[in-house]
Chains A and B, each alone.
Chain A
Amino acid sequence: MEGPEAAAPVEPNREPSRQLEMDALLSYILLYGVVISLALVTISLIWKWLATGQVGFVYELAGMNLYQFATTQIRTTLAGQIRPELLMNLGIAVLMLTPFMRVIASLVFFAAVSKNWKYVLFTSFVLVVLTYSLFLR
């Protein structure tokens, strides 16, 4: 078995401290995304239960993409109509944006820190496809 140095001669992101910082950032994005989303959903369910005595929501979303979904929620929030349904929707939106943010952070890392253009390209592709999917109709 050859040593690892035989495999990759130049690899800027082997710079250990930067890599560790990046891992920590990605980890926080994933963790807080899930925690915030869970908190919104939990508060929404408890609120609904306190207000109506039941946890079941009876409403459906008309088919819409995340962009329309999010803008509707923001408009409702600004109008001051905060209801359990709104918190639930926000929870779902935050959840969906969590992996999306993680990909954006990876892109920034590959571009700004490790300057690995090959992976900037790959990550951009993932980001473009995900963005496209969020705007699907």
Chain B
Amino acid sequence: MTGMGGGVILIPALTLLGMDIKHAIALSILSIIATSSGSASAYVRDHITNLKVGMFLEMFTIVGALAGARITLTSSPRPLFIAFGVVLLGSWAALLLLGHQSWESAASQDSFSRWLELEGSYSDKALGKTIEYRGRRAYLGAPLMFGAGVIAGLLGIGAGALKVIIHDLVMGLPPKVSTTTSNLIIGVTALAGTSVYLASGLINPGLAGPVFLGVAVGALLGTRLLVRMTNQSVRRFFLFVLIVLAVEMIVRGIRGV
């Protein structure tokens, strides 16, 4: 959908239907492989995704995801509910504060980012021109992406919102590049997390099939619906959903489900 809204909505929904939160997390992270790969496919074809930025940052997110998933396996459900709610609150705040600032190419690039060749260009169809950009502060982006990976593995979400913020604010990538590259990274990160959950027997194929299919159909319908809505109404809708789910998850965590 919009780089957010997959797992973030799926997990509260599954737990409300009575599923144990760890099983919900495992199913969610499996479905995320599908949604992120599906949309990444289109963006890679249009040459917007930056493969180098993706590969470099994936080194950090996958290790984070493995660690995060391990933590979930040993954790009790209540802290997971609370952590989930807190991450939702964070996404809510990010959406509220960010939103519509304009992007400008970084004037200077640090030597580490230059060594990593973190630059590129893409043709922006909306603006009708080619945008050149240079990524910077990779030394800061990398450890932050490890953190995003931990959250992704821990809670079974793509943590797309978080990744986009790191790309945008820390590394100075243009919004389209950051969204599409984060999509590429999410697929691999989700795979690392899924492996841990599969090995621990938390993935129930009987439930995975219907959920996976439902998510795919939902993502398709969601995209159709989103293009008809204005950016403002999409944003307001997500702001509302995120705050409601955040409060709900935290309350359930505190009250013991």
Are A58 and B206 also in contact (CB < 8 A) when A99-B191, A133-B195, A137-B199 are?
Answer: yes
Between-chain CB contacts (< 8 Å), 11 pairs? A7-B134, A38-B212, A38-B213, A64-B201, A85-B205, A96-B33, A98-B37, A122-B56, A123-B55, A125-B59, A130-B192
Expressed in whole angstroms, the Cα–Cα distance for A30 and B206 within the complex equals 24
Chain B 61-80 per-residue mask, 1 if CB under 8 angstroms from chain A, else 0: 01100100000000000000
Q: Are A92 and B205 in contact (CB under 8 A)?
A: yes
Q: Does A111 interact with chain B (Cβ within 8 Å)?
A: no
List CB contacts (< 8 Å) of B194-209 with chain A: 194-196, 198-201, 203-209
Q: Does B30 interact with chain A (Cβ within 8 Å)?
A: yes
Q: Which residues of A contact B (CB under 8 A)?
A: 1-4, 7-8, 11, 19-20, 22-24, 26-28, 30-31, 33-34, 37-38, 41-42, 44-45, 55-66, 69, 85, 88-89, 91-92, 95-96, 98-100, 102-103, 106, 109-110, 116, 118-119, 122-123, 125-126, 129-130, 133-134, 136-137
Q: Does B14 interact with chain A (Cβ within 8 Å)?
A: no
Q: Are A66 and B195 in contact (CB under 8 A)?
A: yes
Expressed in whole angstroms, the Cα–Cα distance for A34 and B49 within the complex equals 18
Expressed in whole angstroms, the Cα–Cα distance for A96 and B192 within the complex equals 9
Q: Does B165 interact with chain A (Cβ within 8 Å)?
A: no
Give 5 new A-B contacts, CB below 8 A, not counting A38-B34, A65-B198: A45-B210, A66-B195, A88-B209, A99-B188, A129-B192
Q: Are B114 and A122 in contact (CB under 8 A)?
A: no
Measured CB to CB, the nearest residue on chain B to A31 is: B41
Interface centre among B56, B62, B105, B109 (most CB of A within 10 A): B62
Chain B interface size range: 35 or more
Q: Does B47 interact with chain A (Cβ within 8 Å)?
A: yes
Main secondary structure of the interface of B (DSSP, over half): helix
Expressed in whole angstroms, the Cα–Cα distance for A3 and B52 within the complex equals 20
Measured CB to CB, the nearest residue on chain B to A100 is: B191
Are A126 and B41 also in contact (CB < 8 A) when A20-B47, A38-B213, A60-B204 are?
Answer: no
List CB contacts (< 8 Å) of B24-65 with chain A: 30, 33-34, 37-38, 40-42, 44-45, 47, 49, 51-52, 55-56, 58-59, 62-63
- Residues of chain B lying within 8 A (CB to CB) of residue A31: 37-38, 41-42
Expressed in whole angstroms, the Cα–Cα distance for A1 and B108 within the complex equals 8
Distance in angstroms from A8 CB to nearest chain B CB is: 6
Q: Does B151 interact with chain A (Cβ within 8 Å)?
A: no
Q: Are B58 and A95 in contact (CB under 8 A)?
A: no
Q: Are B45 and A130 in contact (CB under 8 A)?
A: no
Q: Does B98 interact with chain A (Cβ within 8 Å)?
A: no
Expressed in whole angstroms, the Cα–Cα distance for A64 and B58 within the complex equals 25
Expressed in whole angstroms, the Cα–Cα distance for A28 and B34 within the complex equals 14
- Residues of chain A lying within 8 A (CB to CB) of residue B132: 3-4
- Residues of chain B lying within 8 A (CB to CB) of residue A137: 199
**Which single member of B41, B190, B204, B213 contacts A30 (CB below 8 Å)?**
B41
Q: Are B34 and A61 in contact (CB under 8 A)?
A: no
- Residues of chain B lying within 8 A (CB to CB) of residue A66: 195, 198
Q: Are B209 and A41 in contact (CB under 8 A)?
A: yes
Expressed in whole angstroms, the Cα–Cα distance for A68 and B147 within the complex equals 30
